[in-house]
Amino acid sequence: MAKDKAPRRPRAETPKGFRDYFGADVTERKQMLDTIAQVYEAHGFDPLETSAVETVEALGKYLPDVDRPNEGVFAWQEDEGDWLALRYDLTAPLARVAAQFRNDLPSPYRRYAMGPVWRNEKPGPGRFRQFYQCDADTVGAPSVAADAEICGMLSDALEAVGIPRGDYIVRVNNRKVLNGVMQVAGVFDPANPDHMHTERGIVLRAIDKFDKFGEPGVRALIGKGRLDESGDFTPGAGLSDEQADIVMGFMSAKRDTGAATAARLRDLVGGSVLGMEGVSELETIAELLDGQGYGSDRIVIDPSVVRGLGYYTGPVFEAELTFEILDEKGRKRQFGSVSGGGRYDDLVKRFTGQAVPATGVSIGVDRLLAALRAKGRIGGTVQGPVVVTVMDRDRMGDYLAMASELRRAGIRAEVYLGNPKNFGNQLKYADKRESPVAIIQGGDEAARGVVQIKDLVLGAKIAAQASLEEWKSQPAQVEVARTDMVATVRAMLGQNVTGA
């Protein structure tokens, strides 16, 4: 009789398109988000946390490059009930909240939100199905002063977290201007927004990929289609050469000043009322920002900004980091976009039937963290806790008391809770924990009322660099009175921070 097969063990692997975040990643993200939150709160924005799950109906269908119902989201159906899905951004849930609690919230309502979002899309290098976003939005303000404030606040946030002026630029455009250009090109009819809706979506996505594909690639996508290097063919919008010329003229409309760019855009939108309205809004935004000191070294009018999401109705903006990094093949390239947003006046209207103006911005948290690492503003490692080693099992209470005393003094500390038999393993554990200091007290030290304090950072430096004479003159381990333990540890930690 054949033996039953043992049950198959589950594979210990992260699902495709997802990742795990360890100590330094989580700590650095929290520190960065705390800094951004201070900027947002200084501008009068309040925090909001929404559910990770929404109804598919509430989320709507605004993701780019999706055609099938529910594609792009992780969705499931309750027993003969609603379809539910993990949120794909933090804006769609805000629209639901603004509609659901419209009688309780102040108007305008200014909120910021931070948290993970999920997109059921094909993963790739640096492209994950779960990632963090950091948003700020104003709901209920029709004036483009709200858009200008968002752009200025985004600039402040980037500088606050360590992206210096000159290493970033916030670029501003207006979907009304682009729609005006497409109206002139015969691709958009304000009286019939569904006219050529599919073709218009292809044009928007193509323009949004200008930095990636360049002018020839964009022109191909808005024309007959594009054949990439692998041989894959992407169908185009089918615009004629004349129509494509009008759209590409819009792409190259940027001039040295905001006023000159606006003048060129006025020429391009011709008799389009909608387009002229968009140009006027851009001029107002530029004036408001200039009056607050946000010059062209920080924020510029740039017609190449489109944004891929389908719910934008007016001004759109994008923050791009302009410094160079090396890609995986060692080639220099600009870091690129870390943030984007815009006005979405129709999103809340889906719930209420009434026009509710709104504008906001979203920061890609993981990309911004990667940028800070590339600039050397954060190191990818976080100092671990002081480790109190265990020399005598029967004196665990004494060791726990030492750790508690250190924590009361504001020093991160823990007691080694593994097998204390091999003391070398305890120090190896401290190394893995990136611990700066280890506390050692055996029975002899306890009887004399002293502790041994080992400076692990200095010890590593001495072992790697110092001569024998230097090693003898700079002992990395000292014996101090038990009552002096906290003061000595604090002094060692201060030396490690300052490099003394």
Residue 193 backbone zone (phi > 0: left; psi -120 to 50: alpha; other: beta): alpha
Q: What is the pLDDT of residue 62?
A: 57
Give the contacts of 476 (CB within 8 A, at least 6 positions apart): 454, 455, 456, 458, 459, 462
Q: What is the pLDDT of residue 471?
A: 44
The more confidently predicted of residues 259 and 320 is: 320
426 inside domain = yes
Written as six digits, the tokens of 492 are 């060692």
Written as six digits, the tokens of 184 are 């002139």
Q: What is the number of structural domains in the chain?
A: 2
- Hey, which bits of 13-167 come out as E strands? 46-47, 53-55, 75-77, 83-86, 109-118, 130-139
Compute the mean pLDDT over every residue in the chain, rounded to the nearest whole number: 87
Mean per-residue pLDDT for 204-225? 82
307 inside domain = no
Mean per-residue pLDDT for 231-260? 84
Q: For residue 394, what is the DSSP state?
A: G
Q: CB atoms < 10 A from the CB of 68, how many? A: 7
Residue 118 and residue 419: Cα distance in Å, rounded?
41
Q: Are residues 113 and 43 in the same domain?
A: yes
124 inside domain = yes
Reported as a single tens digit per residue, the pLDDT across 303-319 is 888 765 567 889 999 99
Q: Are residues 476 and 371 in the same domain?
A: no
Mean per-residue pLDDT for 460-485? 72
* pLDDT of 413 over the 70 cut: yes
Written as six digits, the tokens of 404 are 């508690």
Q: pTM of the predicted model, to two decimals?
A: 0.81
The H or E element spanning position 96 is: helix 91-100
- For CA atoms 139, 142, 143, 148, the dihedral sign is positive
274 inside domain = no
| Residues facing 225 on adjacent strands | 235
**Range with the poorest average pLDDT among 3-7, 20-24, 86-90, 355-359:** 3-7
My answer on whether omega of the bond before 108 falls inside 30° of 0, hence cis, is yes
Q: Are residues 370 and 393 in the same domain?
A: no
The H or E element spanning position 362 is: strand 358-364
Band (pLDDT 50/70/90 cuts) for residue 327 is: low
Q: Are residues 103 and 44 in the same domain?
A: yes
pLDDT cut 90: percent of the chain above it: 49
Q: Are residues 37 and 117 in the same domain?
A: yes
Among 151, 58, 211, 89, smallest CA distance to 342 is for 151
Q: Are residues 75 and 99 in the same domain?
A: yes
Q: What is the largest CA-CA distance in the chain?
A: 93
Identify the domain boundary among 327, 353, 382. Answer: 382
Identify the domain boundary among 332, 356, 382. Answer: 382
Reported as a single tens digit per residue, the pLDDT across 380-397 is 567 899 999 999 999 999
Q: What are phi and psi of 62, to 5 degrees?
A: -125, 0
DSSP 139-199: ES--STHHHHHHHHHHHHHHHHHT--TTSEEEEEEEHHHHHHHHHHTTS--TT-TTTTHHH
Q: Are residues 365 and 469 in the same domain?
A: no
Band (pLDDT 50/70/90 cuts) for residue 135 is: very high
* pLDDT of 55 over the 80 cut: yes
The position carrying tokens 């072992």 is: 463
326 inside domain = no
Mean per-residue pLDDT for 101-125? 91
Q: Are residues 366 and 403 in the same domain?
A: no
Q: Are residues 404 and 487 in the same domain?
A: yes
* pLDDT of 196 over the 90 cut: no
Q: Are residues 52 and 64 in the same domain?
A: yes
96 inside domain = yes
166 inside domain = no
Among the ranges 69-78, 349-358, 399-408, which has the highest mean pLDDT value? 399-408
CATH of the domain at 425: 3.40.50.800
Q: What is the pLDDT of residue 498?
A: 45
23 inside domain = yes
Mean per-residue pLDDT for 139-168? 95
Domain that holds residue 356: 15-142+345-382
Reported as a single tens digit per residue, the pLDDT across 168-183 is 999 999 989 988 888 8
Q: What is the pLDDT of residue 305?
A: 82
Among the ranges 236-240, 251-255, 282-286, which has the highest mean pLDDT value? 282-286
Euclidean distance between the first and the last CA atom of the chain, given in angstroms as a whole number = 73
Q: Are residues 358 and 411 in the same domain?
A: no
Q: CB atoms < 10 A from the CB of 85, how many? A: 23
| Residues facing 414 on adjacent strands | 387
Identify the domain boundary among 365, 382, 399. Answer: 382
CATH of the domain at 24: 3.30.930.10
Q: Are residues 442 and 423 in the same domain?
A: yes
